[in-house]
Amino acid sequence: MSYRSRFFSIAIGTLLSVSGLLGTLAQAQEADLSPDQKSRVRVEKVDAAIKLIPAGYKFVTAGKLTVASVPGRLPFAAYATDNKTPVGSEPDVAQLVADSLGLQLELVPIAWADWPLGVVSGRFDAAIHNITVTEERKAKFDFSTYRNDLLGFYVPLNSKITSISKPEDVAGLKVIVSSGTNQEQILLRWIEANKAKGLPASEVQYYDDEAVLGVALQSGRADAYLGPNATSAFKAAKEKNTKLVGTFSGGWPETAEIAVATKKGSGLADAVTAAVNAQIANGNYAKALGRWNLSAEAVKESRTNPPGLPKS
């Protein structure tokens, strides 16, 4: 971060941290955070998917699909107003799968680091929380894809920028990105490619405070923000002061997909994949994603164990 950017952040950070918190709370209040989730999309069982459940498979609890969930941030998952029930886009997907398989959904809130051992040890039938398919993970888990892992460029509503789809489009722009992230590495590679072509340099900005980041974008101090599309799309829908001008894979140039993770070789993945595809076909899947403004990340088809991001 430049000296001026640091000074800007420090000077107004304290004042805006309170307003940022209030904005986050207001955003959450507009979403359905009730524990009963009456607005959640519910579906009928899918016989074709149920038939794919291996005859010898034993669910953690008979008649239930026990799913690891990581409440922390919307739209993925957060706690309901009872402070114990996970709600959000990922619990909604879990509900689609459970209903399709004729099972009651049992969501178990955990920390992110705990899902891999929980699935392998049989504590959970599945983990559903923004898990990207990678070749390394495929050694221990089977996957059923349900969402594209996208990064998004967001600009103020009144911005003249209408599209960012390739490295050349960021030439000369001031772009905010989080330090140490995959999107930062992609952006830096884009900038180096532009430099080699003799294109105008881009300015990279970093802000630790989300409220300060927002002010920098709205004031014109920055032109665009690059971050995970899911969280940015949810925020844009609620605050209505930014717009999406481009998305690309979170594994650029490789394709990255989000998937339900089940134990390797358990045989449950094919049933989950069939369940998701049934809901894609009848439109319920689209309704579930649309509820959290994640339509841009919809997949056309769920796949079992597709190529994952390569090992680093």
pLDDT digits (tens, 9 = 90+) for 241-262: 999 999 999 989 999 999 999 9
Angstrom CA distances, 12 to 7, 102, 113, 211, 222, stand at 9, 53, 34, 9, 16
Predicted pLDDT at 9: 41
**Closest to 241 (Cα-Cα) out of 155, 132, 131, 168:** 155
- Give the separation between CA 182 and CA 7, rounded to whole angstroms: 26
Q: Mean per-residue pLDDT for 63-91?
A: 95
Q: Mean per-residue pLDDT for 60-83?
A: 96
Instruction: Kindly give, in sequence order, each residue whose CB lies less than 8 Å from that of residue 7, ignoring residues fewer than 6 positions away.
Output: none
CATH 3.40.190.10 fits 3-30+150-249, yes or no: yes
Predicted pLDDT at 19: 36
Q: Mean per-residue pLDDT for 177-188?
A: 91
Predicted pLDDT at 180: 84
Q: Mean per-residue pLDDT for 205-228?
A: 94
State yes or no: pLDDT of 12 exceeds 60: no
Question: Tens of pLDDT along 44-61?
Answer: 999 999 999 999 999 999
For residues 82, 88, 91, 95, the Cα torsion angle rounded to the nearest 10 degrees is 100
When the pLDDT of each residue in the chain is averaged and rounded to a whole number, the result is 90
Q: What is the end-to-end Cα distance of the chain in Å, rounded?
A: 27
State yes or no: pLDDT of 234 exceeds 70: yes
Predicted pLDDT at 3: 40
Fold agreement between 3-30+150-249 and 47-149+256-297: yes
- Give the separation between CA 272 and CA 33, rounded to whole angstroms: 26
Predicted pLDDT at 30: 67
Predicted pLDDT at 31: 83
What is the percentage of the chain residues whose pLDDT exceeds 70? 90
Q: Mean per-residue pLDDT for 17-23?
A: 35
Predicted pLDDT at 159: 97
Question: Tens of pLDDT along 195-211?
Answer: 999 999 999 999 988 89
297's tokens: 């990340």
Predicted pLDDT at 139: 95
Domain boundaries, the chain: 3-30+150-249, 47-149+256-297
State yes or no: pLDDT of 23 exceeds 90: no
Predicted pLDDT at 311: 83
- At the top level of CATH, the class of 47-149+256-297 is alpha beta
Predicted pLDDT at 210: 86
